[in-house]
Amino acid sequence: MTEEGLKEVVVEYAGSRFRAYLDAASGLLLCPICRRARLASPEDLVAHILAHATRALDMRREPPKREHGAASESSSEEEG
C-alpha cells in the first residue's frame, strides 16, 4: 500500500533491515511509523525509529510507590 510518489523500500543498516518509503520527488526516506519525518540517510532513519521506541517507553506509567513506615516518621517536634 503505497501513496502516489512513494515507493516502499528495504533499508539495510548495521545488520538490521527496515521497511521505509522513498519519496520519488525528493529522494528522501519517509518514516514508516509516523510518515511525517523525511530523512536523508539510513543512519538518520534508524535514529528516528529509536526515538519512537524510547518515547514509547518514557510514556509508560509506573505503579504508585508505597511509602513504608510513613506513620512512624511523624513530624512531631518535642517542646522543651
The boundaries of the domain holding residue 25 are 6-58
* 46 in any annotated domain: yes
* 1 within domain boundaries: no
pTM of the model: 0.62
Count up the domains in the chain and report the number.
1
Whether 29 maps to a domain, the answer reads yes
Query: According to the model, what pLDDT value does residue 70 have?
Result: 57
- pLDDT (0 to 100) of residue 5: 86
* Rounded average pLDDT per 10-residue block, the chain, 80 residues: 80 90 93 91 92 77 77 51
Angle at 15 between CA 13 and CA 17, to 5 degrees: 60
State the pLDDT at residue 2: 57
pLDDT at res. 30? 94
Phi and psi torsions of 38, nearest 5°: -110, 125
* Of residues 45, 7, 44, the one with CA closest to residue 26: 7
Instruction: Give the pLDDT of residue 1.
Output: 44
Cell (9 digits) for 9: 523500500
> Does 78 map to a domain?
no
